[in-house]
Amino acid sequence: YELTQPPSVSVSPGQTARITCSGDALADHYTYWYQQKPGQAPVLMIFKDTERPSGIPERFSGSSSGTTVTLTISAVQAEDEADYYCQSADSIGSVVFGGGTKVTVL
């Protein structure tokens, strides 16, 4: 089972970045999003498709539609340059991560 993400997204500062994650089971399971900067551990950015943990900036938001979920970064800042991973589960409940999306701030 796979979660499919675009390998890369490029965005200018102040613009909006959208990262998609697709998978057949996403219609039945919550999705989570993590940000990972080079040499660092992942950080949880979104849980239960749309909720932000405390301390995560409001410019990060999540949405879901059928088998595709989207992480949106509004008014992108240079510090948002990182790899982003979606995570959910397959049909038997095993944890699955997407292949990751590298966000480049131009």
Partner 1 sequence: QITLKESGPTLVKPTQTLTLTCTFSGFSLSTSEVGVGWIRQPPGKALEWLALIYWNNDQRYSPSLRSRLAITKDTSKNQVVLTMTNMDPEDTATYFCAHRGPWGIVPPFFDYWGHGILVAVSS
Q: Which of 6, 20, 30, 57 binds partner 1 (CB under 8 A)?
A: 30
Residue ranges in 60-89 that form contacts with partner 1 under rule CB under 8 A: 85, 87-89
Q: Contact at 8 Å (CB) between 47 and 53?
A: yes
The verdict on 23 binding partner 1 (CB under 8 A) reads no
* Contact stretch for partner 1 (CB under 8 A) within 10-18, 33-41, 55-63, 66-74: 33-41
Q: Which residues pair with 22 in a beta bridge?
A: 4, 68
For 67, counting Cβ atoms within 10 Å of its Cβ (0-12 exposed, 13-18 middle, 19+ buried), the class is middle
Among 8, 15, 53, 65, binds partner 1 (CB under 8 A): 53
Q: In this complex, which beta carbon is closest to partner 1, that of residue 2 or of residue 14?
A: 2
What Cα–Cα distance (Å) separates residue 78 from each residue in 19, 51, 52, 93? 17, 23, 20, 36
* Residue of 47, 59, 64, 67 that binds partner 1 (CB under 8 A): 47
What does the DSSP 8-state code read for residue 24?
A: G
| Amino acid occupying residue 42 | P
Residues forming the site for partner 1 (CB under 8 A): 29-30, 32, 34, 36, 40-44, 47-48, 53, 85, 87-89, 92-100
